[in-house]
Amino acid sequence: MKIWLNGSLVAKEQAVVSVFDHGLLYGDGVFEGIRAYDGRVFKLGEHLARLWNSARAIMLEIPLARDALQAAVLDTLRANGLRDAYIRLVVTRGTGDLGLDPRKCPTATVFIIADTITLYAAELYERGLAVATVSTRRIPAVAVDPRIKSLNYLNNILAKIEANTLGVPEAIMLNLEGRVAECTGDNVFIVRRGRLLTPPIADGGLEGITRDTVLDLARSLAIPHAEESFTPYEIYTAEECFLTGTAAEIIPVVKVDTRPIGPGTPGPVTRRLTASFREMTRREGVPV
């Protein structure tokens, strides 16, 4: 496996960063998770735009032009002979000293990993997941804005540990007000009274690229939809629920906090959106 690290493609064993890198010492950095389907990188422009926005929000300068980073992503896929891949693009504050001060880190560290991915078993896309709400609240935007896709995932990891303890693969996280924010690595949708709903970003979620894609698909399929706040009660009384993310794509949820959602099987809106999404991943993307 070849890793792109600070401008060179190197063997995995040579792809090492300093123990003084602030990405490691403090989680000071930003990242993206991107998919390639059959030789095309899906929504690459959107992922790069979000990476630059995340970096801007934490005053981190990416030492590369956007075109150059896009070319590096494509080079990494070619170097590994991958047509279907999960791409992890990471920019850290770089090497500094043992203090917090980012001014001690003169240059950002940039690396790209391209690997294969299998997240949930295929049968779970047919049968649907059981998930649970957890006690760990999503960090409020006044502390660290959840729109920043930063390397600081401890909030999400604490929620994931609760999910593990409860024996479910994902956790629904609420904001401080008790409204649904998102999951540890996915956004949440419900279908309630015939309308497709997802929490507004102000309720504490990442502006997921799969979420945006699903909202676009809902528009083109004339599915009534809105970005509207909801609490666990609206999920319990919904007809359908599903999660979206680059890794998970669209995955149905059939049980939340031990309660079956709707009839307890994936619903028609989830199925329609999944079919359209899959079709789009086969059709669109930047060629490798």
Residues near ligand PXG (CB under 6 A) are: 33, 119, 156, 182, 185-187, 205-206, 208-211, 244-247
- Please, which residue, 17 or 247, has the CB nearer to ligand PXG? 247
Residue 95 DSSP symbol: B
- Please, which residue, 56 or 193, has the CB nearer to ligand PXG? 56
- Please, which residue, 69 or 206, has the CB nearer to ligand PXG? 206
Q: What is the signed CA dihedral for 174, 179, 180, 181, rounded to 10 degrees? A: -70
Radius of gyration for the chain, computed over Cα atoms and rounded to the nearest angstrom:
19
Contact (CB, 8 A) for 28 and 153: no
CB of 113 to ligand PXG, least distance (A): 11
Strand bridging mode 249-256 / 240-245 = antiparallel
Number of continuous H segments (helices) and E segments (strands) in the chain? 8, 16
- Please, which residue, 24 or 119, has the CB nearer to ligand PXG? 119
Nearest-CA neighbor of 141 among 175, 174, 173, 172?
175
- Please, which residue, 244 or 281, has the CB nearer to ligand PXG? 244
Alpha carbon distances (Å) from 103 to 64, 170, 235: 19, 37, 45
- Residue 96 corresponds to which tokens in the numbers above? 């500094």
What's the distance, Cα to Cα, between the start and end of the chain in Å?
17
How many Å apart are CA 27 and CA 249, to the nearest integer? 26
Nearest-CA neighbor of 277 among 193, 214, 183?
214
- Residue 87 corresponds to which tokens in the numbers above? 């791409």
- Annotated active-site residue in 2, 149, 160, 255: 149
- Residue 231 corresponds to which tokens in the numbers above? 């609490």
CB of 177 to ligand PXG, least distance (A): 18
CB of 35 to ligand PXG, least distance (A): 9
CB of 205 to ligand PXG, least distance (A): 6
Verify whether residue 255 is a known catalytic residue.
no
Catalytically annotated residues: 149
